[in-house]
Amino acid sequence: MQLNQSLRQALNGLIATSLLVLSVASLNAQLADSGTPGDRAVYTLGTGATLASGIGTSVIHGFDAVTVDDTADSFELQAGGLVGLTEGHHLVLYGSRYINGAGGTRSGLDNTIVINGTDTLVYGSSSTYTRDGTNNNHFVRGGAIVEVAQGDTLEIQSQRTDNNAQTIIQQDADLQLVKLDDNLSYARLGVLFDFQNFMSSASAGPAAVPYDIQDELDPAFGHNEGESQITLNTPGRYLVFANTGVRISGGNRHRQAITQRLTLDGSPVEDSSTVVYIRYAGSGDSLGGLLEYGSTSLGMIVETESANSVLEVELLR
């Protein structure tokens, strides 16, 4: 869960970062000593890599074209699709499209933001699923607010969550970036350990997601570790990203459609629902798949009209 209060800059630009590699050549102007709030960059990729079969097989998106690039150089597109970032907060939005190769059985992808080549963020994750050779398109969009040091790099990774034999072929991808003002207020909350039996087999929810990690919590927000309620201290507009990963567990692992939504003071926020479909398949299922994991992804602006409004993330099915 990530929030940003009173974001004044235009939000139609997106950011992405990539691994820090000192020896690669730059495809863009060199990185500035400090970023400029409001700077935008959009990087794209045509036909990309092919993912071989196997759970965990992954590919990094090799962005190679500059669509938008403001002149203050808050970002630097490097060879191989890495993006160098200036110090501070950045808005990152990404998207990609894949199709199944020959064979066309069910398949899944988990998509994540990676900082400096090794730090795979839980923030910004998003999952896709395809059913067969006819319904074979993966479309994914994800996003997050990240805070980095000067010269850190960012990249986007797609990783298979199925064990079927067909390949998955990337069709295109985009990465959109905006340098944010570090004087704004931010909250970044996470979960350290899995919550076993978060939603029992007898329950359809909703169940509010508790957060026990406070990576960042400015005074504009209130939150107690281990609780689900996030207090928005003042009225206004808040940019909210929520990403929740789920896993089917237990001996009877039926297919599940899990909905994530926001609530404000106990009422669902309009247009905040997103869904992840997890189609588990056991070894006796001729189509296989073993898709046990998935992530919901949401980014939107929430407006409050009263002080001390309470925001929560809920799951239901």
What pLDDT is stored for residue 304 in this prediction? 93
> Per residue in 62-119, pLDDT tens?
898 899 887 768 999 988 888 999 999 999 999 988 888 777 677 788 899 999 999 9
What pLDDT is stored for residue 138 in this prediction? 79
> Per residue in 201-223, pLDDT tens?
777 778 899 999 999 999 999 99
Structural domains of the chain ordered from first start? 9-179 (2.60.120.40), 185-316 (2.60.120.40)
| Matching residue, tokens 């939005």 | 93
For the chain, the residue count is 317
Q: Are 177 and 41 in contact (CB under 8 A)?
A: yes
Q: Which residue has the higher pLDDT, 26 or 178?
A: 178
- CA dist list (Å): 276 to 19, 107, 171, 291: 28, 14, 22, 12
Please give the mean pLDDT across all residues of the chain: 81
- Measure the CA–CA gap between 278 and 182, rounded to whole angstroms: 37
pTM over 0.95, yes/no? no
Q: Is residue 286 scored above 60 in pLDDT? A: no
> Per residue in 36-53, pLDDT tens?
999 999 999 887 788 888
Mean pLDDT across the stretch 165-179? 89
What pLDDT is stored for residue 280 in this prediction? 67
Q: Residue 4: pLDDT band by 50, 70, 90 thresholds?
A: low
- Measure the CA–CA gap between 62 and 81, rounded to whole angstroms: 4
Q: Is residue 144 scored above 90 in pLDDT? A: yes
> Per residue in 184-200, pLDDT tens?
999 999 987 677 667 77
Question: What percentage of the chain carries pLDDT values higher than 90?
Answer: 41
Q: Where are the alpha helices (DSSP H) in the chain?
A: none
